[in-house]
Amino acid sequence: KQEVTQIPAALSVPEGENLVLNCSFTDSAIYNLQWFRQDPGKGLTSLLLIQSSQREQTSGRLNASLDKSSGRSTLYIAASQPGDSATYLCAVFSGYALNFGKGTSLLVTP
Amino acid sequence: ETGVTQSPTHLIKTRGQQVTLRCSSQSGHNTVSWYQQALGQGPQFIFQYYREEENGRGNFPPRFSGLQFPNYSSELNVNALELDDSALYLCASSKTGGTEAFFGQGTRLTVV
């Protein structure tokens, strides 16, 4: 059974800092990995999708990497802003379902 | 191009009742999945529909059932509601399984 773990569970940083969120998964037989953002009580917003054959994807200030063999992905956020405050969820697709971690709750203070 | 929309946004039901949640998939998407998210947890997969057929199911009892219609919209039905069914229910659509999934804003279900 695929297990997805996200570290840290919560993170508080001052505005302007670069930060890294970590995601690990137990079964390397994945099709893709997707990072999402979730604001309190809201749905999920897709940030980046990395196919299993790719090593990284970039979108604006976000960069996600994937090391399938070691079962790890990182989400790098450059020059953080208060508007980045949200919960970030990592999910791996192994068959027909996304398996999610519990998320990292990020607070960026002005 | 419209995104994934869910209705209603909030719902309060009494234990033992039945509920139907609705989802309109994004234009061009033929696969719809439903997830349950308890407070402070990651979403848990309920089931997936592809071309009106259930295509996979997570660890949820049979009182959770669904439908997909010819226009690829979908319903989630939950019978005999329990207090633990209180959660945010999320619908996701994709072009096929394994491609990028797009989520709706969710339906917050409270069972009292």
Confidence of residue A72 (pLDDT cuts 50, 70, 90): very high
Name the 3-class secondary structure at A84.
helix
Q: What is the pLDDT of residues B57-109, one digit of tens each?
A: 999 999 999 999 998 899 999 999 999 999 999 999 998 767 899 999 999 99
On chain B, the residues whose CB falls within 8 A of the CB of A97 are 33, 45, 48, 56, 58
User: pLDDT band for position A15 (50/70/90)?
Assistant: very high
Distance between CA atoms of residues B98 and B88, nearest Å: 23
Question: For residues A41 and B19, which has the higher predicted lDDT (pLDDT)?
Answer: B19
Tell me if B90 and A43 make a contact (CB, 8 A cut-off): yes
**Count of CB contacts below 8 A, A vs B?**
63
Compare all CA atoms of chain A with the CA of B47 and give the residue at the minimum distance.
A97
The pLDDT, as a whole number, for residue B97 is 65
Mind listing the pLDDT tens digit for each residue in A36-68? 999 998 999 999 999 999 999 999 999 999 999
Distance between CA atoms of residues B4 and A30, nearest Å: 25
At residue A25, the pLDDT reads 97
Average pLDDT, chain A: 96
Cross-chain CB nearest to B98 (options A44, A89, A93):
A93
The answer to whether residue A76 scores a pLDDT higher than 60 is: yes
Average pLDDT over chain B reads 94
- A16 pLDDT higher than 80: yes
The C-alpha atoms of residue B29 and residue A35 are separated, in whole angstroms, by 20
For chain B, list residues whose CB is within 8 angstroms of any CB belonging to chain A: 4, 6, 33, 35, 40-45, 48, 55-56, 58, 88, 90, 92, 97-98, 100-106, 108
Give ∠ CA B6-B18-B52 in degrees, rounded to 5: 50
- A4, A7, A44: best mutation site toward chain B, by most B Cβ within 10 Å? A44
CB contacts of B6 in chain A (<8 Å) are 43
CB distance A45 to A37 below 8 Å: yes
Residue B93's identity, in one-letter code, is S
Helix and strand element counts for chain A (H, E): 0, 11
Instruction: Answer whether residue A20 shows pLDDT above 60.
Output: yes
From the list B41, B92, B100, which residue is nearest A102 (CB)? B41
Phi, psi of B19 (to 5 degrees): -140, 150
